[in-house]
Structure 1
Amino acid sequence: MMETAVTQATQKIISRCALMHDLNDAECLAIIEQSQQCRVEKGRFFFHQGEDAVKMYIISSGRVKLTQVTQAGDQVIVGFCSPGDGLGIIVALSQLEYPLSAEAVTDCTAVSWQRGQMEQLMLTYPRLALNGTGMIAQRFVKLQDRYRDIATRRVEQRIARALLRLVRQFGKKAERGVLIDMPLSRQDLAEMTGTNIYNVSRILSKWERAEWVSSQRQRIILCKAHELVVLAEDLA
Protein backbone atom coordinates (compact mmCIF):
# COMPACT_ATOMS: atom_id res chain seq x y z
CA MET A 1 0.00 0.00 0.00
CA MET A 2 1.60 3.27 -1.18
CA GLU A 3 0.76 6.71 0.29
CA THR A 4 0.81 9.97 -1.73
CA ALA A 5 -0.50 13.53 -1.42
CA VAL A 6 -4.25 14.10 -1.89
CA THR A 7 -5.10 15.67 -5.27
CA GLN A 8 -7.81 18.25 -5.98
CA ALA A 9 -9.80 15.70 -8.02
CA THR A 10 -9.77 13.35 -5.03
CA GLN A 11 -10.88 16.18 -2.73
CA LYS A 12 -14.01 16.67 -4.85
CA ILE A 13 -14.93 12.99 -4.61
CA ILE A 14 -14.34 12.86 -0.85
CA SER A 15 -16.35 16.05 -0.25
CA ARG A 16 -19.41 14.32 -1.76
CA CYS A 17 -19.12 11.32 0.60
CA ALA A 18 -21.92 10.81 3.15
CA LEU A 19 -19.30 11.29 5.89
CA MET A 20 -18.98 14.94 4.81
CA HIS A 21 -22.71 15.66 4.60
CA ASP A 22 -23.69 19.15 5.88
CA LEU A 23 -20.06 20.19 6.40
CA ASN A 24 -19.05 23.39 4.61
CA ASP A 25 -16.17 23.62 2.13
CA ALA A 26 -13.69 24.94 4.69
CA GLU A 27 -14.53 22.15 7.15
CA CYS A 28 -14.26 19.46 4.45
CA LEU A 29 -10.89 20.83 3.37
CA ALA A 30 -9.59 20.89 6.96
CA ILE A 31 -10.63 17.25 7.43
CA ILE A 32 -9.19 16.11 4.09
CA GLU A 33 -5.90 17.91 4.74
CA GLN A 34 -5.29 15.56 7.67
CA SER A 35 -5.70 12.47 5.47
CA GLN A 36 -3.24 10.46 3.40
CA GLN A 37 -3.94 9.14 -0.09
CA CYS A 38 -3.03 5.51 -0.68
CA ARG A 39 -3.02 3.07 -3.59
CA VAL A 40 -4.08 -0.55 -3.26
CA GLU A 41 -3.48 -2.92 -6.16
CA LYS A 42 -6.09 -5.36 -7.45
CA GLY A 43 -6.20 -8.48 -5.28
CA ARG A 44 -4.67 -6.80 -2.23
CA PHE A 45 -6.52 -5.87 0.95
CA PHE A 46 -7.19 -2.62 2.76
CA PHE A 47 -7.65 -4.69 5.90
CA HIS A 48 -8.62 -8.18 7.05
CA GLN A 49 -11.44 -9.37 9.28
CA GLY A 50 -10.29 -9.64 12.89
CA GLU A 51 -7.39 -7.18 12.60
CA ASP A 52 -7.18 -4.28 15.04
CA ALA A 53 -9.18 -1.41 13.47
CA VAL A 54 -6.61 1.38 13.26
CA LYS A 55 -7.46 3.21 10.04
CA MET A 56 -10.54 4.24 8.04
CA TYR A 57 -10.79 5.04 4.34
CA ILE A 58 -12.90 6.76 1.72
CA ILE A 59 -12.49 5.29 -1.77
CA SER A 60 -11.60 7.77 -4.50
CA SER A 61 -11.27 5.31 -7.41
CA GLY A 62 -11.78 1.60 -8.06
CA ARG A 63 -13.99 -1.16 -6.68
CA VAL A 64 -13.74 -2.91 -3.30
CA LYS A 65 -15.31 -6.20 -2.17
CA LEU A 66 -16.39 -6.59 1.46
CA THR A 67 -16.38 -10.15 2.80
CA GLN A 68 -16.85 -12.03 6.05
CA VAL A 69 -15.82 -15.57 6.97
CA THR A 70 -18.39 -17.45 9.04
CA GLN A 71 -17.59 -19.69 12.00
CA ALA A 72 -18.04 -22.65 9.64
CA GLY A 73 -15.31 -21.22 7.38
CA ASP A 74 -17.59 -20.13 4.55
CA GLN A 75 -16.96 -16.77 2.89
CA VAL A 76 -19.90 -14.38 2.45
CA ILE A 77 -19.82 -11.25 0.30
CA VAL A 78 -21.40 -8.44 2.31
CA GLY A 79 -21.27 -5.91 -0.51
CA PHE A 80 -19.19 -3.87 -2.90
CA CYS A 81 -17.95 -0.28 -2.59
CA SER A 82 -17.15 2.37 -5.18
CA PRO A 83 -15.75 5.94 -5.18
CA GLY A 84 -17.21 8.02 -2.35
CA ASP A 85 -17.92 5.02 -0.12
CA GLY A 86 -16.31 4.67 3.32
CA LEU A 87 -14.39 1.67 4.67
CA GLY A 88 -13.70 0.95 8.32
CA ILE A 89 -15.84 3.77 9.75
CA ILE A 90 -16.10 1.60 12.88
CA VAL A 91 -12.55 2.83 13.67
CA ALA A 92 -13.73 6.15 15.10
CA LEU A 93 -16.83 4.85 16.87
CA SER A 94 -15.45 1.91 18.85
CA GLN A 95 -12.31 0.01 19.82
CA LEU A 96 -13.43 -3.12 17.98
CA GLU A 97 -11.62 -5.18 15.38
CA TYR A 98 -12.52 -4.90 11.69
CA PRO A 99 -15.71 -7.00 11.35
CA LEU A 100 -14.95 -7.86 7.71
CA SER A 101 -12.25 -7.83 5.04
CA ALA A 102 -11.94 -5.23 2.26
CA GLU A 103 -10.33 -6.47 -0.96
CA ALA A 104 -9.54 -4.34 -4.02
CA VAL A 105 -11.19 -6.01 -7.02
CA THR A 106 -9.63 -3.37 -9.29
CA ASP A 107 -6.67 -1.09 -8.69
CA CYS A 108 -7.88 1.44 -6.10
CA THR A 109 -7.01 4.76 -4.56
CA ALA A 110 -8.41 6.02 -1.27
CA VAL A 111 -7.82 8.59 1.43
CA SER A 112 -7.27 7.42 4.99
CA TRP A 113 -7.14 8.64 8.57
CA GLN A 114 -5.59 6.96 11.60
CA ARG A 115 -8.02 6.15 14.42
CA GLY A 116 -6.68 8.88 16.71
CA GLN A 117 -6.88 11.46 13.93
CA MET A 118 -10.51 10.66 13.15
CA GLU A 119 -11.51 10.61 16.82
CA GLN A 120 -10.05 14.09 17.25
CA LEU A 121 -11.71 15.34 14.07
CA MET A 122 -15.08 14.07 15.28
CA LEU A 123 -14.63 15.96 18.55
CA THR A 124 -13.80 19.10 16.57
CA TYR A 125 -16.61 18.60 14.02
CA PRO A 126 -19.56 16.83 15.74
CA ARG A 127 -21.41 16.61 12.40
CA LEU A 128 -18.68 14.20 11.28
CA ALA A 129 -19.53 11.84 14.15
CA LEU A 130 -23.26 12.04 13.39
CA ASN A 131 -22.61 11.29 9.73
CA GLY A 132 -20.45 8.30 10.67
CA THR A 133 -23.20 6.93 12.90
CA GLY A 134 -25.69 7.42 10.07
CA MET A 135 -23.48 5.49 7.64
CA ILE A 136 -23.27 2.55 10.03
CA ALA A 137 -27.05 2.62 10.55
CA GLN A 138 -27.66 2.54 6.79
CA ARG A 139 -25.37 -0.45 6.39
CA PHE A 140 -27.14 -2.24 9.24
CA VAL A 141 -30.49 -1.75 7.49
CA LYS A 142 -29.05 -3.09 4.22
CA LEU A 143 -27.70 -6.14 6.00
CA GLN A 144 -31.11 -6.77 7.56
CA ASP A 145 -32.68 -6.61 4.09
CA ARG A 146 -30.11 -9.09 2.76
CA TYR A 147 -30.69 -11.54 5.60
CA ARG A 148 -34.46 -11.29 5.09
CA ASP A 149 -33.98 -12.08 1.41
CA ILE A 150 -31.94 -15.18 2.22
CA ALA A 151 -34.52 -16.34 4.77
CA THR A 152 -37.68 -15.72 2.75
CA ARG A 153 -36.94 -15.65 -1.00
CA ARG A 154 -36.21 -18.35 -3.55
CA VAL A 155 -32.64 -18.65 -4.87
CA GLU A 156 -33.69 -17.35 -8.30
CA GLN A 157 -35.21 -14.25 -6.73
CA ARG A 158 -32.14 -13.66 -4.57
CA ILE A 159 -29.84 -13.74 -7.59
CA ALA A 160 -32.12 -11.40 -9.54
CA ARG A 161 -32.22 -8.96 -6.63
CA ALA A 162 -28.44 -9.10 -6.26
CA LEU A 163 -27.94 -8.29 -9.95
CA LEU A 164 -30.40 -5.40 -9.76
CA ARG A 165 -28.59 -3.98 -6.72
CA LEU A 166 -25.30 -4.15 -8.59
CA VAL A 167 -26.82 -2.46 -11.64
CA ARG A 168 -28.03 0.40 -9.47
CA GLN A 169 -24.54 0.75 -8.03
CA PHE A 170 -22.32 -0.01 -11.04
CA GLY A 171 -24.65 0.01 -14.06
CA LYS A 172 -23.26 1.32 -17.34
CA LYS A 173 -25.14 1.52 -20.63
CA ALA A 174 -24.02 -1.11 -23.13
CA GLU A 175 -25.05 -2.11 -26.63
CA ARG A 176 -27.20 -5.03 -25.47
CA GLY A 177 -28.49 -3.56 -22.21
CA VAL A 178 -26.90 -2.46 -18.93
CA LEU A 179 -23.43 -3.67 -17.99
CA ILE A 180 -22.46 -4.30 -14.36
CA ASP A 181 -19.19 -2.39 -14.65
CA MET A 182 -16.95 -4.46 -12.40
CA PRO A 183 -15.48 -7.99 -12.36
CA LEU A 184 -18.18 -10.39 -11.11
CA SER A 185 -17.75 -14.15 -11.03
CA ARG A 186 -20.41 -16.77 -10.50
CA GLN A 187 -18.70 -17.63 -7.22
CA ASP A 188 -19.15 -13.96 -6.19
CA LEU A 189 -22.87 -14.22 -6.90
CA ALA A 190 -23.10 -17.44 -4.90
CA GLU A 191 -21.40 -15.79 -1.92
CA MET A 192 -23.71 -12.78 -2.18
CA THR A 193 -26.90 -14.81 -2.21
CA GLY A 194 -26.34 -17.68 0.20
CA THR A 195 -26.24 -20.42 -2.44
CA ASN A 196 -23.64 -22.38 -4.41
CA ILE A 197 -21.94 -21.94 -7.76
CA TYR A 198 -23.95 -24.81 -9.29
CA ASN A 199 -27.25 -23.01 -8.67
CA VAL A 200 -25.86 -19.70 -9.95
CA SER A 201 -24.54 -21.32 -13.14
CA ARG A 202 -27.81 -23.16 -13.73
CA ILE A 203 -29.92 -20.03 -13.27
CA LEU A 204 -27.68 -17.75 -15.34
CA SER A 205 -27.64 -20.32 -18.15
CA LYS A 206 -31.43 -20.40 -18.06
CA TRP A 207 -31.59 -16.60 -18.22
CA GLU A 208 -29.06 -16.51 -21.05
CA ARG A 209 -31.22 -18.88 -23.10
CA ALA A 210 -34.17 -16.55 -22.48
CA GLU A 211 -31.91 -13.58 -23.44
CA TRP A 212 -32.48 -11.87 -20.09
CA VAL A 213 -28.75 -11.64 -19.41
CA SER A 214 -25.44 -12.07 -21.20
CA SER A 215 -22.35 -13.16 -19.26
CA GLN A 216 -18.74 -13.82 -20.16
CA ARG A 217 -15.31 -13.30 -18.58
CA GLN A 218 -16.70 -12.07 -15.24
CA ARG A 219 -18.86 -9.48 -17.00
CA ILE A 220 -22.65 -9.55 -16.83
CA ILE A 221 -25.04 -7.51 -18.98
CA LEU A 222 -28.73 -7.27 -18.12
CA CYS A 223 -30.47 -7.41 -21.50
CA LYS A 224 -34.03 -7.52 -20.17
CA ALA A 225 -33.88 -5.91 -16.75
CA HIS A 226 -37.68 -5.65 -16.60
CA GLU A 227 -38.00 -9.44 -16.56
CA LEU A 228 -35.61 -9.62 -13.62
CA VAL A 229 -37.56 -6.92 -11.77
CA VAL A 230 -40.78 -8.92 -12.26
CA LEU A 231 -39.06 -12.04 -10.90
CA ALA A 232 -37.27 -10.25 -8.05
CA GLU A 233 -40.42 -8.56 -6.76
CA ASP A 234 -42.75 -11.53 -7.45
CA LEU A 235 -44.93 -9.39 -9.71
CA ALA A 236 -47.72 -10.85 -11.78
Structure 2
Amino acid sequence: MADFSLLRKMFMFRDLSDESLIKVCSIWHERMYKKGKIIFMEGEPGYAFYYVISGKVKIYNTASDGREHIIHIFGDGNVFGEVTILNNIAYPATAEVLEDSRIGMIKNDELELLMKEDGSLAFELIKVLCRRLHMASIEIRNLAFKDTLQRTAISLLKLSQSHGVKTSRGIELNIDITRQELADVAGTTRESVTRALSKLKKDKIIDMGDTIIIKDVDQLIKWIDN
Protein backbone atom coordinates (compact mmCIF):
# COMPACT_ATOMS: atom_id res chain seq x y z
CA MET A 1 0.00 0.00 0.00
CA ALA A 2 1.24 3.49 -0.85
CA ASP A 3 2.23 6.24 1.52
CA PHE A 4 -0.97 8.30 1.95
CA SER A 5 0.94 11.61 1.93
CA LEU A 6 2.72 10.63 -1.30
CA LEU A 7 -0.52 10.16 -3.21
CA ARG A 8 -1.92 13.37 -1.76
CA LYS A 9 0.91 15.26 -3.53
CA MET A 10 -0.14 13.96 -6.95
CA PHE A 11 -2.16 16.59 -8.82
CA MET A 12 -4.62 13.96 -10.04
CA PHE A 13 -5.47 12.86 -6.51
CA ARG A 14 -4.90 15.95 -4.36
CA ASP A 15 -8.58 17.00 -4.34
CA LEU A 16 -9.94 13.57 -3.39
CA SER A 17 -11.51 12.90 -0.02
CA ASP A 18 -9.48 10.87 2.47
CA GLU A 19 -11.92 8.00 1.95
CA SER A 20 -11.35 7.97 -1.82
CA LEU A 21 -7.60 8.30 -1.45
CA ILE A 22 -7.46 5.32 0.90
CA LYS A 23 -9.09 3.27 -1.86
CA VAL A 24 -6.43 4.41 -4.33
CA CYS A 25 -3.70 3.48 -1.84
CA SER A 26 -4.97 -0.10 -1.90
CA ILE A 27 -4.14 -0.51 -5.62
CA TRP A 28 -0.81 1.33 -5.62
CA HIS A 29 2.35 -0.60 -6.54
CA GLU A 30 6.01 0.44 -6.37
CA ARG A 31 9.28 -0.88 -7.72
CA MET A 32 12.85 0.17 -8.42
CA TYR A 33 14.10 0.43 -12.01
CA LYS A 34 17.76 0.45 -13.03
CA LYS A 35 19.16 2.98 -15.50
CA GLY A 36 18.39 1.92 -19.08
CA LYS A 37 15.39 -0.22 -18.15
CA ILE A 38 12.38 0.02 -20.47
CA ILE A 39 9.15 0.46 -18.50
CA PHE A 40 6.93 0.08 -21.55
CA MET A 41 7.39 0.08 -25.31
CA GLU A 42 5.58 2.10 -27.93
CA GLY A 43 2.75 -0.07 -29.28
CA GLU A 44 2.42 -2.29 -26.20
CA PRO A 45 -1.07 -2.58 -24.68
CA GLY A 46 -1.65 0.17 -22.13
CA TYR A 47 -2.20 -1.60 -18.84
CA ALA A 48 -1.08 0.98 -16.24
CA PHE A 49 0.06 4.53 -15.61
CA TYR A 50 3.09 5.57 -13.60
CA TYR A 51 4.44 8.16 -11.17
CA VAL A 52 8.08 9.14 -10.68
CA ILE A 53 8.72 9.04 -6.94
CA SER A 54 12.42 9.67 -7.50
CA GLY A 55 14.58 9.50 -10.62
CA LYS A 56 14.18 10.39 -14.30
CA VAL A 57 12.27 8.79 -17.18
CA LYS A 58 12.52 9.57 -20.89
CA ILE A 59 9.41 9.33 -23.08
CA TYR A 60 10.15 9.03 -26.79
CA ASN A 61 9.03 7.83 -30.21
CA THR A 62 11.27 5.94 -32.62
CA ALA A 63 11.23 6.66 -36.37
CA SER A 64 11.53 3.92 -39.00
CA ASP A 65 15.20 4.83 -39.49
CA GLY A 66 15.91 4.41 -35.78
CA ARG A 67 16.01 8.10 -34.85
CA GLU A 68 14.47 9.09 -31.52
CA HIS A 69 12.12 11.97 -30.90
CA ILE A 70 12.03 12.73 -27.19
CA ILE A 71 8.58 13.87 -26.14
CA HIS A 72 9.42 14.62 -22.53
CA ILE A 73 11.82 13.86 -19.70
CA PHE A 74 9.98 13.34 -16.42
CA GLY A 75 11.43 13.74 -12.94
CA ASP A 76 10.24 13.57 -9.35
CA GLY A 77 6.50 14.10 -9.01
CA ASN A 78 5.58 13.57 -12.67
CA VAL A 79 2.88 11.23 -13.98
CA PHE A 80 3.22 9.42 -17.31
CA GLY A 81 1.32 6.78 -19.28
CA GLU A 82 -2.02 8.16 -18.11
CA VAL A 83 -3.29 8.59 -21.69
CA THR A 84 -4.20 4.89 -21.64
CA ILE A 85 -6.65 5.29 -18.75
CA LEU A 86 -10.20 4.45 -19.91
CA ASN A 87 -9.09 4.18 -23.54
CA ASN A 88 -7.78 0.62 -23.63
CA ILE A 89 -5.23 1.75 -26.23
CA ALA A 90 -1.56 1.00 -26.83
CA TYR A 91 1.16 3.17 -25.35
CA PRO A 92 1.88 5.91 -27.94
CA ALA A 93 5.55 6.14 -26.91
CA THR A 94 8.35 4.29 -25.11
CA ALA A 95 9.34 5.00 -21.49
CA GLU A 96 13.01 4.45 -20.58
CA VAL A 97 14.67 5.03 -17.20
CA LEU A 98 17.54 7.55 -17.40
CA GLU A 99 18.85 6.88 -13.89
CA ASP A 100 18.06 4.45 -11.11
CA SER A 101 14.48 5.35 -10.24
CA ARG A 102 11.69 4.56 -7.81
CA ILE A 103 8.43 4.33 -9.75
CA GLY A 104 4.83 4.03 -8.58
CA MET A 105 2.20 2.29 -10.71
CA ILE A 106 -1.57 1.85 -10.81
CA LYS A 107 -3.08 -0.75 -13.13
CA ASN A 108 -5.83 0.58 -15.36
CA ASP A 109 -8.27 -2.27 -14.76
CA GLU A 110 -8.01 -1.87 -10.98
CA LEU A 111 -8.48 1.89 -11.28
CA GLU A 112 -11.54 1.47 -13.49
CA LEU A 113 -13.20 -0.69 -10.85
CA LEU A 114 -12.66 2.06 -8.27
CA MET A 115 -13.98 4.71 -10.64
CA LYS A 116 -17.25 2.80 -11.02
CA GLU A 117 -17.64 2.95 -7.25
CA ASP A 118 -16.41 6.52 -6.72
CA GLY A 119 -17.73 9.32 -8.93
CA SER A 120 -15.34 11.94 -7.51
CA LEU A 121 -12.36 9.83 -8.54
CA ALA A 122 -13.74 9.48 -12.07
CA PHE A 123 -14.25 13.26 -12.30
CA GLU A 124 -10.67 14.04 -11.25
CA LEU A 125 -9.21 11.61 -13.76
CA ILE A 126 -11.32 13.03 -16.58
CA LYS A 127 -9.84 16.45 -15.75
CA VAL A 128 -6.34 14.97 -15.95
CA LEU A 129 -7.00 13.47 -19.38
CA CYS A 130 -8.46 16.75 -20.67
CA ARG A 131 -5.38 18.58 -19.43
CA ARG A 132 -3.08 16.12 -21.21
CA LEU A 133 -5.07 16.51 -24.44
CA HIS A 134 -4.71 20.28 -24.20
CA MET A 135 -0.96 19.97 -23.69
CA ALA A 136 -0.68 17.67 -26.71
CA SER A 137 -2.48 20.20 -28.91
CA ILE A 138 -0.05 22.90 -27.78
CA GLU A 139 2.91 20.64 -28.62
CA ILE A 140 1.56 20.07 -32.13
CA ARG A 141 1.07 23.80 -32.66
CA ASN A 142 4.58 24.57 -31.43
CA LEU A 143 6.16 22.08 -33.81
CA ALA A 144 4.12 23.45 -36.71
CA PHE A 145 4.46 27.20 -36.22
CA LYS A 146 7.51 27.94 -34.05
CA ASP A 147 11.04 28.32 -35.40
CA THR A 148 14.13 26.53 -34.06
CA LEU A 149 14.99 29.20 -31.50
CA GLN A 150 11.43 29.30 -30.19
CA ARG A 151 11.20 25.50 -29.96
CA THR A 152 14.51 25.39 -28.09
CA ALA A 153 13.25 28.06 -25.69
CA ILE A 154 10.00 26.10 -25.18
CA SER A 155 12.00 22.95 -24.40
CA LEU A 156 14.14 24.80 -21.85
CA LEU A 157 11.03 26.24 -20.22
CA LYS A 158 9.42 22.78 -20.01
CA LEU A 159 12.56 21.32 -18.48
CA SER A 160 12.73 24.16 -15.96
CA GLN A 161 9.20 23.35 -14.81
CA SER A 162 10.00 19.69 -14.16
CA HIS A 163 13.72 19.85 -13.30
CA GLY A 164 14.41 23.49 -12.39
CA VAL A 165 16.11 24.46 -9.14
CA LYS A 166 16.16 28.10 -8.03
CA THR A 167 19.68 29.41 -7.39
CA SER A 168 21.26 32.83 -6.94
CA ARG A 169 22.15 32.79 -10.66
CA GLY A 170 18.71 31.80 -11.91
CA ILE A 171 16.87 28.53 -12.52
CA GLU A 172 19.33 25.68 -12.92
CA LEU A 173 18.22 22.67 -14.95
CA ASN A 174 18.98 19.79 -12.62
CA ILE A 175 19.16 17.21 -15.37
CA ASP A 176 21.97 15.61 -17.34
CA ILE A 177 20.80 16.19 -20.91
CA THR A 178 22.94 16.14 -24.04
CA ARG A 179 22.61 18.60 -26.91
CA GLN A 180 21.26 15.76 -29.05
CA GLU A 181 18.61 14.90 -26.45
CA LEU A 182 17.62 18.57 -26.22
CA ALA A 183 17.40 18.66 -30.01
CA ASP A 184 15.17 15.59 -29.94
CA VAL A 185 12.88 17.29 -27.42
CA ALA A 186 12.76 20.45 -29.57
CA GLY A 187 12.19 18.49 -32.78
CA THR A 188 15.28 19.84 -34.54
CA THR A 189 18.97 19.07 -35.12
CA ARG A 190 21.84 19.21 -32.65
CA GLU A 191 23.53 21.92 -34.72
CA SER A 192 20.39 24.07 -34.67
CA VAL A 193 20.04 23.69 -30.90
CA THR A 194 23.70 24.61 -30.41
CA ARG A 195 23.18 27.81 -32.41
CA ALA A 196 19.99 28.60 -30.51
CA LEU A 197 21.70 28.11 -27.14
CA SER A 198 24.58 30.34 -28.22
CA LYS A 199 22.10 33.05 -29.21
CA LEU A 200 20.25 32.79 -25.89
CA LYS A 201 23.54 32.94 -24.00
CA LYS A 202 24.73 35.95 -26.02
CA ASP A 203 21.50 37.75 -25.12
CA LYS A 204 22.12 36.87 -21.44
CA ILE A 205 18.93 34.84 -21.16
CA ILE A 206 20.76 31.65 -20.22
CA ASP A 207 24.19 30.64 -19.00
CA MET A 208 25.93 27.36 -19.75
CA GLY A 209 28.54 25.31 -17.95
CA ASP A 210 28.12 21.89 -16.44
CA THR A 211 24.39 22.64 -16.53
CA ILE A 212 22.10 25.16 -18.21
CA ILE A 213 20.91 28.08 -16.09
CA ILE A 214 17.97 30.22 -17.14
CA LYS A 215 18.92 33.71 -15.98
CA ASP A 216 15.84 35.54 -17.26
CA VAL A 217 12.63 33.50 -17.51
CA ASP A 218 10.57 36.51 -18.62
CA GLN A 219 12.86 37.12 -21.58
CA LEU A 220 12.78 33.44 -22.45
CA ILE A 221 8.98 33.57 -22.57
CA LYS A 222 9.17 36.66 -24.80
CA TRP A 223 11.34 34.71 -27.23
CA ILE A 224 8.66 32.02 -27.33
CA ASP A 225 5.79 34.47 -27.84
CA ASN A 226 7.59 36.53 -30.48
- Category of TM-score, reference length = shorter chain: 0.7 to 0.9
Q: Which amino acid aligns with 2:201?
A: E
User: Which residue of the partner structure matches residue 185 of structure 2?
Assistant: 192
- Matching residue's letter, 2:222: V
2:85 alignment partner in structure 1: 92
Q: TM-score normalised to the size of structure 2? A: 0.88
Q: How many residues align?
A: 226
Does structure 1 conserve the Cα–Cα contact (< 8 Å) formed by 2:83 and 2:132?
Answer: no
Q: Deviations over 1:100-144 (max 9, x none)?
A: 112222322122223321221221223223322222221121121
1:182 counterpart SS class: coil
Alignment root-mean-square deviation, CA: 2.2
Aligned counterpart, 1:41: 34
SS at structure 1 position matched to 2:12: helix
Aligned equivalents of 1:140, 1:92: Cα separation in 2: 13
Amino acid at match of 1:17: M
Aligned residue for 1:222? Answer: 214
Deviation, structure 1 residue 29: 1.9
Superposed counterparts of 1:9-158, under 5 Å: 11-70=4-63, 73-158=66-151
* Code of the aligned partner of 1:228: L
5+ unaligned residues in a row in structure 1: which ranges?
none
Whole-Å separation in 1 of the counterparts to 2:192 and 2:7:
39
Unaligned runs of 5+ in 2: none
Q: Percent same amino acid among aligned pairs?
A: 24
In structure 1, C-alpha distance between the alignment counterparts of 2:45 and 2:164, rounded to whole Å: 34
Query: Which of the residues 205, 212, 221 maps onto 2:205?
Result: 212
Separation in 1, partners of 2:116, 2:14: 16
Give the aligned partner of residue 224 of structure 2.
232
- TM-superposition CA deviations, 1:194-226 (whole Å, max 9, x none): 210011112223333444323344x21112334
